[in-house]
Amino acid sequence: MVQPLISLLIVFSSIGFIRGWPYIPDKTYVQIHNVIPGANLTAHCRSKEDDLGVHVLPPLDQYEFQFKPSFFGATLFYCLFSWPEESHHFDIYDEKRDYYMCSHCTWWIKTSGPCSGSNQDKCTPYHWKS
């Protein structure tokens, strides 16, 4: 009986050292801004467990969702973005990439690709997934 308890404590301790102890998942916010000139942006975001539905964003409008990251570091939300004559997809929140970078993740959706940061003029550009 003592051996399984010790094993569990070791496992949870190692997760704590990896993620920061104690690990209490906070809410994470993802904000998506449409900065495509003159076009509505359709965003359909989902994870393995949740389909957040289709949202149509007029130019300069935004959409936000929130969630608690997975205890095991595997949360992934991906979105299909489309506007007239174009369609692309992107992992809008990948816990392995984003957990330590942002708890309020702001994305600026441009024709060239998504851009991460609090200011659209000084954001980090990413490529669309193929």
In CATH, what number is assigned to the domain containing residue 121?
Answer: 2.60.40.10
Using 50 as the pLDDT threshold, list the residues of the chain that sit under it: 8-10, 13-17, 21
Is 40 a domain residue?
A: yes
Q: Which helix (H) or strand (E) holds 65?
A: strand 62-67
* Structural domain harbouring 108: 24-125
- Whole-number pLDDT of residue 71: 78
Bridge partner list, 43: 55, 81
- DSSP-based three-state secondary structure for 129: strand
Is 49 a domain residue?
A: yes
Domain count within the chain: 1
How many CB atoms are closer than 10 A to CB 16? 12
Bridge partner list, 104: 29
Is 45 a domain residue?
A: yes
CA angle 40–115–121, rounded 5-degree value: 95
Query: Are residues 66 and 26 in contact, defined by beta-carbon separation less than 8 angstroms?
Result: no
Mind listing the pLDDT tens digit for each residue in 72-95? Answer: 779 999 999 999 999 999 999 999
In total, the chain counts a number of residues equal to 130
Is 99 a domain residue?
A: yes
Place of tokens 């094993």: 7
Is 10 a domain residue?
A: no
Is 94 a domain residue?
A: yes
